[in-house]
Amino acid sequence: MKGIFITLEGGEACGKTTQIQMLKEYFKNKKIDALFTKEPGGMPLTDEIRRLILNYEIDPPLEKTELLLYLAARIEDIEKVIKPALEEGKIVIGDRFNDSTIAYQASGRQIMPIDDMINFTENIIDNFTPDLTIYLRLDPQIAFERKKNIDLELDRIEKAGLDFHRRVLEGFDYMAKKEPERFAIIDASKPKDVVFKEILSAIRKKVEI
Protein backbone atom coordinates (compact mmCIF):
# COMPACT_ATOMS: atom_id res chain seq x y z
CA MET A 1 0.00 0.00 0.00
CA LYS A 2 1.34 3.43 -0.96
CA GLY A 3 -0.86 5.53 1.32
CA ILE A 4 -1.37 5.60 5.07
CA PHE A 5 -4.45 4.58 7.05
CA ILE A 6 -5.22 6.56 10.21
CA THR A 7 -8.20 5.95 12.48
CA LEU A 8 -9.82 8.06 15.18
CA GLU A 9 -11.32 6.13 18.07
CA GLY A 10 -12.98 6.84 21.39
CA GLY A 11 -16.22 6.64 23.31
CA GLU A 12 -19.29 8.82 23.00
CA ALA A 13 -18.89 12.63 22.97
CA CYS A 14 -15.09 12.37 22.83
CA GLY A 15 -14.97 15.02 20.10
CA LYS A 16 -14.24 12.82 17.09
CA THR A 17 -16.74 14.60 14.84
CA THR A 18 -15.30 18.01 15.69
CA GLN A 19 -11.70 16.88 15.24
CA ILE A 20 -12.41 15.17 11.94
CA GLN A 21 -14.05 18.34 10.64
CA MET A 22 -10.96 20.29 11.69
CA LEU A 23 -8.75 17.75 9.92
CA LYS A 24 -10.83 18.09 6.76
CA GLU A 25 -10.33 21.86 6.80
CA TYR A 26 -6.62 21.46 7.50
CA PHE A 27 -6.07 19.05 4.61
CA LYS A 28 -8.18 21.19 2.29
CA ASN A 29 -6.14 24.30 3.11
CA LYS A 30 -2.88 22.39 2.68
CA LYS A 31 -4.15 20.86 -0.60
CA ILE A 32 -3.39 17.36 0.73
CA ASP A 33 -5.24 14.54 -0.99
CA ALA A 34 -7.01 12.76 1.87
CA LEU A 35 -10.07 10.52 2.05
CA PHE A 36 -12.36 10.47 5.07
CA THR A 37 -14.48 7.43 5.92
CA LYS A 38 -17.05 6.77 8.65
CA GLU A 39 -18.10 3.44 10.16
CA PRO A 40 -20.59 2.19 9.31
CA GLY A 41 -21.68 4.24 6.31
CA GLY A 42 -20.55 6.04 3.19
CA MET A 43 -22.18 3.78 0.62
CA PRO A 44 -25.84 2.85 0.08
CA LEU A 45 -25.40 -0.61 1.60
CA THR A 46 -23.35 0.51 4.59
CA ASP A 47 -25.65 3.51 5.20
CA GLU A 48 -28.54 1.06 5.48
CA ILE A 49 -26.52 -1.09 7.89
CA ARG A 50 -25.89 2.03 10.00
CA ARG A 51 -29.63 2.78 10.12
CA LEU A 52 -30.41 -0.78 11.21
CA ILE A 53 -27.81 -0.75 13.98
CA LEU A 54 -28.35 2.68 15.48
CA ASN A 55 -31.98 3.62 14.96
CA TYR A 56 -34.06 0.50 14.51
CA GLU A 57 -36.27 0.65 17.63
CA ILE A 58 -39.10 -1.68 16.60
CA ASP A 59 -36.98 -4.83 16.24
CA PRO A 60 -33.40 -4.00 17.25
CA PRO A 61 -30.73 -6.53 16.25
CA LEU A 62 -29.47 -9.12 18.68
CA GLU A 63 -25.99 -8.40 20.01
CA LYS A 64 -24.30 -11.00 17.81
CA THR A 65 -26.32 -9.81 14.82
CA GLU A 66 -25.14 -6.26 15.57
CA LEU A 67 -21.53 -7.51 15.61
CA LEU A 68 -21.89 -9.23 12.23
CA LEU A 69 -23.56 -6.17 10.72
CA TYR A 70 -20.62 -4.01 11.77
CA LEU A 71 -18.18 -6.50 10.29
CA ALA A 72 -20.15 -6.73 7.04
CA ALA A 73 -20.00 -2.94 6.67
CA ARG A 74 -16.28 -2.96 7.50
CA ILE A 75 -15.47 -5.51 4.80
CA GLU A 76 -17.32 -3.38 2.23
CA ASP A 77 -15.46 -0.28 3.37
CA ILE A 78 -12.03 -1.94 3.31
CA GLU A 79 -12.34 -3.54 -0.11
CA LYS A 80 -14.33 -0.89 -1.97
CA VAL A 81 -13.07 2.34 -0.41
CA ILE A 82 -10.00 2.14 1.83
CA LYS A 83 -7.70 -0.20 -0.09
CA PRO A 84 -8.26 1.50 -3.48
CA ALA A 85 -7.51 4.89 -1.92
CA LEU A 86 -4.33 3.58 -0.26
CA GLU A 87 -3.20 2.10 -3.56
CA GLU A 88 -3.52 5.59 -5.02
CA GLY A 89 -1.22 6.91 -2.30
CA LYS A 90 -3.88 8.81 -0.36
CA ILE A 91 -4.06 9.50 3.34
CA VAL A 92 -7.20 7.75 4.61
CA ILE A 93 -8.76 8.99 7.85
CA GLY A 94 -11.27 6.58 9.35
CA ASP A 95 -13.95 7.58 11.84
CA ARG A 96 -13.93 4.29 13.82
CA PHE A 97 -12.62 0.89 12.79
CA ASN A 98 -11.96 -2.51 14.36
CA ASP A 99 -10.97 -1.14 17.77
CA SER A 100 -14.53 0.10 18.21
CA THR A 101 -15.78 -3.46 17.76
CA ILE A 102 -13.38 -4.67 20.43
CA ALA A 103 -14.42 -1.89 22.81
CA TYR A 104 -18.18 -1.89 22.20
CA GLN A 105 -19.02 -5.50 21.33
CA ALA A 106 -16.42 -7.42 23.37
CA SER A 107 -15.87 -5.18 26.38
CA GLY A 108 -19.15 -3.24 26.37
CA ARG A 109 -21.62 -5.90 25.22
CA GLN A 110 -19.48 -8.73 26.62
CA ILE A 111 -20.31 -10.96 23.65
CA MET A 112 -17.03 -12.81 24.03
CA PRO A 113 -13.63 -12.31 25.74
CA ILE A 114 -11.63 -9.46 24.24
CA ASP A 115 -8.77 -11.60 22.92
CA ASP A 116 -11.24 -13.98 21.29
CA MET A 117 -12.95 -11.00 19.65
CA ILE A 118 -9.61 -9.68 18.40
CA ASN A 119 -8.79 -13.01 16.77
CA PHE A 120 -12.29 -13.38 15.32
CA THR A 121 -12.51 -9.91 13.80
CA GLU A 122 -8.94 -9.86 12.50
CA ASN A 123 -9.58 -13.14 10.69
CA ILE A 124 -12.72 -11.66 9.11
CA ILE A 125 -10.89 -8.56 7.83
CA ASP A 126 -7.66 -10.41 6.90
CA ASN A 127 -5.63 -8.66 9.63
CA PHE A 128 -6.07 -5.27 7.92
CA THR A 129 -4.79 -2.81 10.54
CA PRO A 130 -4.44 0.98 10.68
CA ASP A 131 -0.96 2.48 10.55
CA LEU A 132 -1.94 4.87 13.34
CA THR A 133 -4.87 5.01 15.73
CA ILE A 134 -5.62 8.27 17.51
CA TYR A 135 -7.49 7.44 20.70
CA LEU A 136 -9.46 10.36 22.08
CA ARG A 137 -9.81 9.20 25.66
CA LEU A 138 -12.67 10.66 27.71
CA ASP A 139 -14.22 9.53 30.97
CA PRO A 140 -17.83 8.43 30.30
CA GLN A 141 -19.16 10.63 33.10
CA ILE A 142 -17.73 13.69 31.34
CA ALA A 143 -19.15 12.39 28.06
CA PHE A 144 -22.64 12.15 29.55
CA GLU A 145 -22.37 15.72 30.85
CA ARG A 146 -21.36 16.90 27.37
CA LYS A 147 -24.39 15.17 25.85
CA LYS A 148 -26.70 16.86 28.38
CA ASN A 149 -25.21 20.27 27.67
CA ILE A 150 -25.74 20.08 23.90
CA ASP A 151 -29.20 18.51 24.30
CA LEU A 152 -28.88 16.05 21.41
CA GLU A 153 -31.16 13.07 20.96
CA LEU A 154 -29.32 9.87 21.86
CA ASP A 155 -29.16 6.85 19.55
CA ARG A 156 -29.72 3.27 20.76
CA ILE A 157 -26.07 2.65 21.67
CA GLU A 158 -25.68 5.98 23.44
CA LYS A 159 -28.67 5.04 25.63
CA ALA A 160 -26.95 1.88 26.90
CA GLY A 161 -26.01 3.42 30.24
CA LEU A 162 -22.95 4.56 32.18
CA ASP A 163 -21.74 1.09 33.20
CA PHE A 164 -21.78 -0.02 29.57
CA HIS A 165 -19.75 2.99 28.47
CA ARG A 166 -17.26 2.48 31.29
CA ARG A 167 -16.66 -1.03 29.95
CA VAL A 168 -16.22 0.48 26.48
CA LEU A 169 -13.51 2.76 27.89
CA GLU A 170 -11.81 -0.28 29.44
CA GLY A 171 -11.88 -1.96 26.03
CA PHE A 172 -10.18 0.96 24.31
CA ASP A 173 -7.64 1.16 27.13
CA TYR A 174 -6.90 -2.55 26.71
CA MET A 175 -6.19 -2.15 23.00
CA ALA A 176 -4.03 0.94 23.56
CA LYS A 177 -1.95 -0.96 26.11
CA LYS A 178 -1.75 -4.02 23.85
CA GLU A 179 -0.51 -2.04 20.81
CA PRO A 180 1.26 1.07 22.14
CA GLU A 181 3.26 1.50 18.92
CA ARG A 182 0.02 1.98 16.95
CA PHE A 183 -1.95 4.07 19.44
CA ALA A 184 -1.57 7.77 20.21
CA ILE A 185 -3.57 8.45 23.37
CA ILE A 186 -4.93 12.00 23.64
CA ASP A 187 -6.80 13.46 26.61
CA ALA A 188 -10.10 14.46 25.01
CA SER A 189 -11.15 16.55 28.01
CA LYS A 190 -8.71 19.27 26.90
CA PRO A 191 -9.86 22.25 24.76
CA LYS A 192 -10.51 21.24 21.16
CA ASP A 193 -7.65 23.37 19.75
CA VAL A 194 -5.18 21.70 22.10
CA VAL A 195 -6.49 18.27 21.15
CA PHE A 196 -6.18 19.15 17.46
CA LYS A 197 -2.54 20.19 17.84
CA GLU A 198 -1.80 16.88 19.56
CA ILE A 199 -3.55 14.99 16.76
CA LEU A 200 -1.45 16.78 14.13
CA SER A 201 1.70 16.02 16.12
CA ALA A 202 0.81 12.31 16.22
CA ILE A 203 0.09 12.22 12.48
CA ARG A 204 3.35 14.02 11.64
CA LYS A 205 5.27 11.17 13.27
CA LYS A 206 3.89 8.93 10.52
CA VAL A 207 3.58 11.17 7.47
CA GLU A 208 4.56 14.67 6.36
CA ILE A 209 1.56 17.00 6.46
DSSP string, 163-202: HHHHHHHHHHHHHHHH-TTTEEEEETTS-HHHHHHHHHHH
Among the CATH numbers 3.40.50.11540, 3.20.20.70, 3.40.50.10860, 3.40.50.300, which is that of 4-204? 3.40.50.300
58: pLDDT confidence band, cut at 50, 70 and 90? confident
What are the start-end ranges of the H helices in 2-151? 16-30, 44-55, 63-77, 83-87, 98-101, 114-124, 140-150
What residue spans define the domains of the chain? 4-204
Contacts of 18 (CB under 8 A, 6+ apart): 192
pTM for the model stands at: 0.92
pLDDT at 133: 98
What average pLDDT does range 40-45 have in this prediction? Answer: 90
Q: Choose between 77 and 57: higher pLDDT.
A: 77
Q: In what order do the strands lie in the sheet with 132-137?
A: 34-38, 91-95, 4-9, 132-137, 183-187
Cα 101 off chain centre by: 9
Quote the pLDDT of residue 65: 93
